[in-house]
Amino acid sequence: MLLEEKYIEASENEKLRRRMKRKNGKTYRWFAHRLDNAMQGSIILDIDEVSVEQFMSWNKQDLENGKKSCWPACFESIEALSKILTDGKYKYYILYASYGMRGWIISKDYICYLE
C-alpha cells in the first residue's frame, strides 16, 4: 500500500510518474529505473528480463536505503513493494551496455527501435 503523499516527500521517479498519469489520463507503464555510469555514446547491447523476485533479492539493501526518500516509490515494506510490482504485472529488465554503463528498468514492457 502506498503511503500518503503528505507524510513522505516523493522521489523524482514518483513525481515523474504522477505527471505522466495526470497528463494523459492513462495508467503508466514505466515504474522506475536506475542507470549507473551513463555516458554519451553508450550503446545498449542487450536487455534481459528477470523476475521481480530476483529484483527484490538483488536490490534489497538499495530498496531499504531508498525507502525513506520514496525510492523507487513510496512503500511501507519490501513485501508491499513486491506486491505492487507483482499485482501491477511489472517486469524487471537489466541493461547491458558499452562504456561501463549498467542499470535496470522496471516497466510493464518496452519497445526497441533500431536505426
Per-residue pLDDT of the chain (115 residues; tens, 9 = 90+): 343 333 344 455 555 555 544 444 555 577 888 888 877 777 888 889 999 999 999 999 989 998 888 888 888 888 989 998 998 889 999 988 877 778 898 988 877 766 6
Note whether residue 23 is domain-resident. Answer: yes
Helices (H) and strands (E) in the chain, counts: 4, 4
CA dist., res. 75 & res. 4, Å (int): 10
Domain holding 70, by residue range, is: 12-107
Note whether residue 7 is domain-resident. Answer: no
C-alpha cell at position 110 = 518496452
Q: What is the pTM of this model?
A: 0.68
Note whether residue 24 is domain-resident. Answer: yes
Note whether residue 114 is domain-resident. Answer: no
Strand partners, 44: 97
Note whether residue 113 is domain-resident. Answer: no
Residue of 112, 3, 105, 4 whose CA lies nearest to 50:
105
Note whether residue 26 is domain-resident. Answer: yes
The fraction of the chain above a pLDDT of 90, given in percent, is 14
Note whether residue 30 is domain-resident. Answer: yes
Give the number of domains in the chain.
1
